[in-house]
Structure formats: C-alpha cells, structure tokens
Amino acid sequence: MSKQRRLSRIFAKDGKSITLALDGYYFSTKTDGIDNTLRQLPSLVEQGLDCALVTYGMLKNFKDELNAVPIVLRVDGTVNIFDNTVPDTAQVFSVEDALKVGAEGVVCMTFPGAFNEEKTHNLAMRLAQAADAWNLPLIVESLPYGYPVTSDDSNNPVVIAAAARAAVELGADIIKTRFSGSAEDRMIVEASGVPVLALGGPKTGIDGYFTFVHHCMQMGAKGVAVGRNITQDPHPAKVVAGLNAIIHQGATPQDAYSLYMAK
C-alpha cells in the first residue's frame, strides 16, 4: 500500500485541489468567518471544494459539518498567539492522532531563515518519518523567514523555491507556499518536484484573487490552499465555484468572476 489512496482524496481525479484552510486558530487571532464557513461546508463541497485543513478542536466541536469533506489535520500550533509575525510553532498532534480522527493527511509549517528554523525543521523531519511509516501524506507549508511577507527575500521566488525544496528533501509529499505573482514562480514548482498548493494572494477584491490563482495554475501549481479569501468573503460558496472553474475546468479569471457575480 502507498500514499496514493489518501492523496486521491486530497486531490481530485485531475490531480488538482481546492483546499480550504480552516486552521487559522492555531496561528492568529484574525479568525473572523471561520466558524461561519464551517457551518456552510456542505454547500462549499457542492461547489467543488476538495479538502479542508482543520484543527483538533474543530473535530471535537464541528463533527457533523466536517464529515462532508476529506480533511487534513493541522498538527502544529503557535505558542505566541498574540504576535503573529513569525509564529513560534510547536507540535500539537501526531500522525497517529490524525489517523485516529480519520484525516487523509497532516500539515505543518517550516520557517527557513527564521529564528526558529531549527525547531520547525526538527518538527517537519519527525513528522515526515512518521507520515512515511503510516502512509499518510504530509503537507509542509515552507515559508522563508516566517508567516507574513516581511522582506524582498521572503517573497523572492528563488528563496521560496529553496525553502520548498528543503522541505521536500526532509520528506514533504505536498508543498503549500506563497507565490510572488511573477513569471519566476515557475521555479518554485520545478524545485519542489512534488505537488504545490498556492496560499495567500492579493487583498484587492475577489477578481484580483481569481487572477492570482489563474497565474499560479499557469506556473504549474496543483491548486490552492485558501483561507481568508473564502472565510472572510461574504459568499464563500461562490468563491469556491469560481475556483472550481479556474482550477478544475481551465476557465479564465473573468469567467470565474462572472460565476461569482451570477444569481
């Protein structure tokens, strides 16, 4: 048996994925809209949502809603929650915990170049070994110098690519990382050699986000791991519908935007 069975639940048959990040509570106090989105999960799945990144607490308190979608368990959490420049992460749960709750994979962060690089790399290393032993895919969110974009370097495709590859060499099966928006983003995908999900994107309206996602797919991304662009949008299900058009059906950003505005 291999990890393929579980990977086929995170990614659709076309090898692409719209993954919803609901795990913000472990890193930030800016969590508006997450509980609201959790309650609408079935309609998001209807619009094409493939997978959700969730916390352990949600699995205890939103059981029924989460049954509707394949889940990946966030296994690290910040230990400085009121300061979210570089989250100081610690391992919260294990691969075995993920198996117990029926998750299809686990996700953790690494921060190459940040003050806590060693701690995050050690965490990822240990998880990679356990994930391989249990045939559970590991998503590593490898963010150079920390969580937000704090310098040219932390948004430089060359640096992002090096950070992604380091995570792959430690055993990551999937990379979740930022894209800069430039044509050099292709390097990130090439360096990784494993599927890459794009996070983040501009805060300039849903049309800008659709344009960004289209760019990421052109660069070779296998989809998105999207948080606030869904949870803080007034119409989460419509954002998913738009993403579905771009990611699974090859639509243009304009088509996606029309879909979003329709009805």
Q: Which of 2, 142, 18 is nearest to 10 (CA)?
A: 18
**Please, what is the end-to-end C-alpha distance for the chain in angstroms?**
45
Q: Which member of 21, 41, 73, 93 binds a copy of itself (CB under 8 A)?
A: 93
Comparison of 145 and 260: residue with beta carbon closer to a copy of itself:
145
CB of 16 to a copy of itself, least distance (A): 19
Q: How many CB atoms neighbour CB 43 within 10 A?
A: 15
Q: Which member of 14, 32, 46, 169 binds a copy of itself (CB under 8 A)?
A: 169
Angle between helices 253-261 and 236-249 (to 10 degrees): 150
Q: Which member of 25, 147, 210, 260 binds a copy of itself (CB under 8 A)?
A: 25
CB 231 within 8 A of CB 58: no
Query: Is the alpha carbon torsion for 90, 95, 99, 100 positive or negative?
Result: negative
Does position 166 interact with a copy of itself (CB under 8 A)? The reply is yes
Q: Which member of 48, 105, 137, 144 binds a copy of itself (CB under 8 A)?
A: 144
Does position 26 interact with a copy of itself (CB under 8 A)? The reply is yes
CB of 216 to a copy of itself, least distance (A): 21
Query: Is the alpha carbon torsion for 247, 252, 255, 256 positive or negative?
Result: positive
Q: Which of 190, 56, 36, 110 is nearest to 44 (CA)?
A: 36
Q: What does each C-alpha distance from 89 to 92, 141, 167 come to in angstroms?
A: 9, 12, 16
Does position 242 interact with a copy of itself (CB under 8 A)? The reply is no
Q: Which member of 42, 148, 171, 220 binds a copy of itself (CB under 8 A)?
A: 171
Binding residues among 29-68 for a copy of itself as defined by CB under 8 A? 29, 31, 35, 55-58, 60-61
Residues that bind a copy of itself (CB under 8 A): 25-26, 29, 31, 35, 55-58, 60-61, 77, 79-82, 88, 90, 92-93, 97, 112-113, 117-118, 121-122, 125, 128-129, 144, 159, 162-163, 165-166, 168-173, 193-194
